[in-house]
Structure 1
Amino acid sequence: MSLVNQQIQLVSRPMGEPTHDNFKLVEVPVPELQDGQVLVKHLWLSLDPYMRGRMNDGKSYAQPQPLDEVMIGGTAGEVVASKHPDYAPGDPVVGMGGWQLYSVVDGGQRGMMRKVDTTHVPLSHYLGAVGMPGVTAWVGLNHIIAPKAGETMVISAATGAVGSAFGALAKARGCRAVGIAGGPEKCAYAVNELGFDACIDYKAHPDLKSLSKALKDACPDGVDGYFENVGGMIMDAVMLRMNAFGRIAVCGMIAGYNGQPLPMANPALILVSRLKVQGFIVSEHMELWPAALKELGTLVGTGKLRPRESIAEGLAAAPEAFFGLLKGRNFGKQLVKLA
């Protein structure tokens, strides 16, 4: 009997905030395996802010998500059938399977799928701390910010999947780590469980002056390195506190993902403080992934990085969970449990 796959497809491009009308849940048959192919049953789906940008049909660093096709997304699961010598039923794997229950993968196509060791690292963490988000933090910190021991590192969205890893990595390099997050519960988690030296609740500081004052209190020696996930007023406030020759790694601008303009209040600070501001895409640094994954896996396996997960149940819950992610409702890495 042939298997039936469920998929969530993007059927229209959002105008502003995405809605349920932009998605459609469909059922399609799972194709028969050809030589060299592997059938993967997805157990976990990763939801990430970059997906919102891919929904737009405009200039970006990657091709837009095609309409009427399964939504792009990272997945973790297990091999259920294989016609490739490197994979066997039961192997835990991660890849880019998309918003669906099953995927058929060419086992010989590099970068599409890899086996993982779940002895000390739970499978779901390979979509977060020991996956693309963790590697994003590692690349931005090491190869753009290039921290020195004793420096002050700041990151927005500090309790998300990227921010959690960034804090542990910064502390491992002897830096002072300061997070920015939304709400007292998230800030307490950042300090008490993730090891940040301080965390600023941006929701308690509704204007630039107040937020800048909070940053001054948390970073009395200024800010040497900043990892940008949000943009807008938060970036403006941090730039006011940047030391001369500070470095800013720009990874995301979630405040503008639904089309809002993101003017910069004082771009002259880039010149005045001689700042290095560099955007980056982690998929363009694949040569760095092995070293990053090794360190991140060790941090998780030894308990020095204790990532938190927000879990939605079932494929049909993915759109609503994604909407919440864009509004900061998640606490830690946002996942969908598929089985």
Structure 2
Amino acid sequence: MVIRRALTVVLASLSFSAAACTGGSPTLGASAPGVSSPTQTSAGTTSQSASGVPPPSRTAVPVPPTTPPHASPFDVERVLGGVRDLAAMGPRDAASAAGDRAAAYVAARLRAAGYRVTVQPFTVPAGVSWGVPVPAGSTANVVADPPGFDPRRPHVVIGAHLDTVPRSPGAEDNASGLMVLAEVARIVREQPGALPVRFVAFGAEEARGGNGTRYAFGSRHFVTALGGAERTAVGGMLALDRVGVRAAAVPVCSGGRGTPALAEAIRAAATSASVPTRACTNRASDHVSFERVGIPAARLGSVPYAAYHSAGDVPSVVDRRQLARSGAVVLAWLRSLG
């Protein structure tokens, strides 16, 4: 009953209209295009290719004009549309039907961008999430691979978590990270770089323990499922977590348990995009799972805001300029990997 209901039903039988890939609402249909059932999922995950920094957005939001010729602009309206759609689903605990709908939504966006999408199911324990009891159940990582990707060859991973705490619609935490990930994936698919990128939407990042130590279940499951050659092939991992709250600079944090070299390299790349960044140490996201096993990792995002983990985490807390700057930092880093 646990591996289960909506994870199988929603991911295998929800389909999304074309509007869902541009900020519209999901519609019921036959099978979700490009999303495999749990029985079709491989033990590893997926990847994709890298790209440069985008030119000015179609909106009035300034985006550094350093995109390679013919690359699409970073579309802030597309990102905001996705943030609104995910927040409209309400709280998305990892073991909930709303959490499964969010996974299907993100999978549809990545599939529409041209990736092969698989789901990697796993179970999560019951617990207490920020004062609210949450049940045991199943959830999944959503993994997007570009055509021809070999997880045993050098690549990087970009991730963002799918779930929210029980009281929050999670516009900033973490619809913002998910939709910047999806938009970067779209651009990178159009303009591959020298080093492939694997995009992963992780299930169950939020803590399910009173002391906040039982968290990042999906990323730990992902790392554990990697074979030795696959783990060695991961040159770095970047978690996008809370990337849309307005601030003077974009936080780029190390986890404090490994080398800070990756965070430093990302901040250095951001200078080419004229985006201000700041250094920080943060152990509260999916990058920690990679750092624990010796994979260089960093987190982009974590600006404090009043609506954190509350019902007030709605789309209005997300700033379009900060979304554009966050996307520009990620793309500048990917471009630097060639």
Structure 2-normalised TM-score?
0.27
Higher strand share: 1
Structure 1-normalised TM-score?
0.27
- Structure with higher RCO (Cα < 8 A, 6+ apart): 2
Higher Cα Rg: structure 1 or 2? 1
